[in-house]
Amino acid sequence: MKVWTRDVLSEFVRAKLDGRRLIVVSNREPFQHRRANGSIECVQPASGMASALDPVMRACGGLWIAHGSGDADRQTVDYRDHVRVPPDSNEYTLRRVWLPKKEEEGHYAGLSNQALWPLCHMSFTRPVFDSQHWAMYRRVNERFAEAILQEAGEDPAFVFIQDYHFALLPRMLRDAGANLVIAQFWHIPWPNRETFSSCPWQSDILDGMLGNDLLGFHLQQHCQNFIDTVTGSLEARIDASGAEVCFGGHSTVVRPFPIGIDF
């Protein structure tokens, strides 16, 4: 059995990247700067997603783009909104994206957590579908697309997008025509087709996610639910394996990738 040491992980990821720069994208930042007792401290916010990806970034380097939410975040970046992290070893770069309060609330507390989260979990909480939240969600996705395209430039890059906060982002990047391989991992369930059809922006969300080259879920059932939703909503073709969606002249591979438990 292979033991995933830092060196083995670094070698494996670099071989897969094939010379492309690694860019991770998430709403939650892996490190946050906060004011405390008259000074600034760097802390790691609680996040299972960050806990899973931070070791990869430490081993392989690259760029992590996230919302700068710490009250001292602006005081610790350079003119490009970059800061090297972790503070004791400076192993990769964090690029912070600044969001106006209205956009932050509409995107995160609004559309993401009042609509998509309960919808995808099929919870007893009724999803809130608010057009203003949707507008802010789209605008934040646009801001992140602008940041990614600025950072990537014309160079080849592998963009790894995290979670349901950025359903529209893959299509925005794809349509920009940059030299990018785009992947996304959806960290929450995907509901059955009938449930997701209640979302008034169903087609926009599906179209956005099908901008990916690779789309991952935790379970095969979530993959199947997503594909069923696509076939019931869009004029897409599913290949014989049932794991690849062809839509708008582009193919997206849909696969399960369970995240392991860190013992």
C-beta of residue 225 within 8 angstroms of C-beta of residue 191: yes
DSSP code string of 231-251: HHHS--EE-TTSSEEEETTEE
- pTM for the full model? 0.94
Q: How far apart are CA 226 and CA 206, in angstroms?
A: 9
C-beta of residue 190 within 8 angstroms of C-beta of residue 226: yes
- Running DSSP on this structure, what letter comes out for residue 18? T
Question: Per-residue pLDDT tens for 162-198?
Answer: 999 999 999 999 999 999 999 999 999 999 999 999 9
Q: How far apart are CA 195 and CA 21, in angstroms?
A: 38
Q: How far apart are CA 64 and CA 51, in angstroms?
A: 13
HSE (side-chain half, CA atoms, 13 Å) at 97 = 26
**pLDDT of res. 263:** 47
Asked if CATH classification 3.40.50.2000 holds for the domain at 101-256, the reply, yes or no, is yes
C-beta of residue 52 within 8 angstroms of C-beta of residue 259: yes
Question: Per-residue pLDDT tens for 59-91?
Answer: 999 999 999 999 999 999 999 999 999 999 999
Domain extent listing, the chain: 6-97, 101-256
**pLDDT of res. 165:** 98
